[in-house]
Amino acid sequence: MNGPLTIGIDIGGTKVAGGVVDARGALLATARTVTPDRSRSPRVVEETILSVVDELRAVHPDVAAVGIGAAGFVSADRSTVVFAPHLSWRNEPLRERLGERVGLPLVVDNDANASIWGEYRFGAGRGESHLVMVNLGTGIGGGIVYEGQVIRGRYGIAGEFAHMQVVPDGIRCECGNRGCWEQYASGNALVREARVLMASTSPMITDLFREVVGPADTLSGPLVTEAAKRGDRLAIELIGEVGRWLGVGIANLAAALDPGTFVIGGGVSAAGEFLLGPARENFRRHLTGRGYRPEARIVAAALGNDAGVIGAAELARDALST
């Protein structure tokens, strides 16, 4: 499989990751930095993206295009980030601003669209004609592939599953509404619940909390996951709760979209069966017509945290041939 090298950039609420990717989906070089504080100017985030691109081009100057997966609502023409709940972009013409500086063909898409495209072409979604991806990171990202096409919707905002209301008048979400799915099934939800217990000196305290040096806000999702893998009962319970809400949400998505496979990605998916076991159980419990319909598979992303980078690079490569 021959084709030009391209760069993929994955922008999340906490990190900007990039990589040079070949036509087989292999990462040839990577770069990563933290996302600047969301309260700062969008220009600061854009400069961070450019610094990652420059670092990668220094290693592979022959790259032909750049694909960017941005955590937010991206317009149908894939040029503008209309709204980013976890960043400060509001109607940002990202393709124009960055394209002028990069000097290469540049594609902008939603980060979950990039991730699902990576998994569809090279990962857990290969061979599946009806695929839905749910990325559990800082928030929730979602993507849909139907018969070989990413479904973006009339306005480019399809797949924003994070902001389905699952609890009327529930927890306030950064999008402005209450009770959104990502307030119950995301990395933020996992860490929030753990920190509340830690700050309250709950009698539920286990080794998970004894390992944290400093105040409750130093507790992180990866620490909870590692504790669960060592058998910490509270960490297992906290991840299981996220898994239960994950199952509820994807049962709703199955009712609407009827995919053959759900791919679960994002940083929280590193919890593996601690997350996916409760998700499958609650998916079956809440599935419409359960017992009388085929059930979608629920699998972990094969590309891990690299799915967004690889998918964004592949979207950029696809654009070169159109």
Same domain for 265 and 311, yes or no, is: no
Q: Are residues 190 and 310 in the same domain?
A: no
Q: pLDDT tens per residue, the chain (322 residues)? A: 678 999 999 987 778 999 999 999 999 999 999 877 755 678 888 999 999 999 999 999 999 999 999 988 999 999 999 988 777 889 999 999 999 899 999 999 999 999 999 999 999 999 999 999 999 988 898 999 999 999 999 999 999 999 999 999 999 998 889 999 999 999 999 999 988 888 776 676 666 777 666 777 778 899 899 999 989 898 999 999 999 999 999 999 999 999 999 999 988 999 999 999 999 999 999 999 998 999 999 999 999 889 999 999 999 999 998 7
Q: Are residues 199 and 290 in the same domain?
A: yes
Is 17 inside any structural domain?
Answer: yes
Residues 106 and 143 occupy one common structural domain? no
Residue 291 falls within a domain, yes or no? yes
In a domain, 184, yes or no: yes
Q: Is residue 279 part of a domain?
A: yes
50 belongs to a structural domain: yes
pTM, rounded to two decimals: 0.90
| 155 and 137, same domain (yes or no) | yes
pLDDT reported for residue 129: 95
Q: Do 261 and 249 meet the contact criterion of CB atoms below 8 Å apart?
A: no
Is there a single domain that holds both residue 165 and residue 295? yes
Query: What is the domain range of residue 287?
Result: 127-301
DSSP string over 160-175: -GGG-BSSTT-SBPTT
What's residue 206's pLDDT? 66
Residues 273 and 314 occupy one common structural domain:
no
Same-domain pairing of 257 and 313:
no
What's the angle, vertex CA 152, arms to CA 78 and CA 301, rounded to 5?
105
Q: Both 139 and 166 in a single domain?
A: yes
Please indicate, yes or no, if residue 18 is contained in any of the structural domains.
Answer: yes
Which pLDDT score is estimated for 199?
77
Residues 157 and 185 both lie in one domain:
yes
Spatial separation of the C-alpha atoms in residues 240 and 235, rounded to whole Å: 8
Q: Is 133 in the same domain as 243?
A: yes
141, part of any domain:
yes
Closest C-alpha to 70, from 106, 101, 41:
106
Report the number of distinct structural domains present in the chain: 2
Kindly state whether residue 1 falls inside one of the protein's structural domains.
no
Query: How far, in Å, CA of 222 to CA of 14, rounded?
Result: 13
- Domain at 199, CATH number: 3.30.420.40
Pair (228, 177) in one structural domain? yes
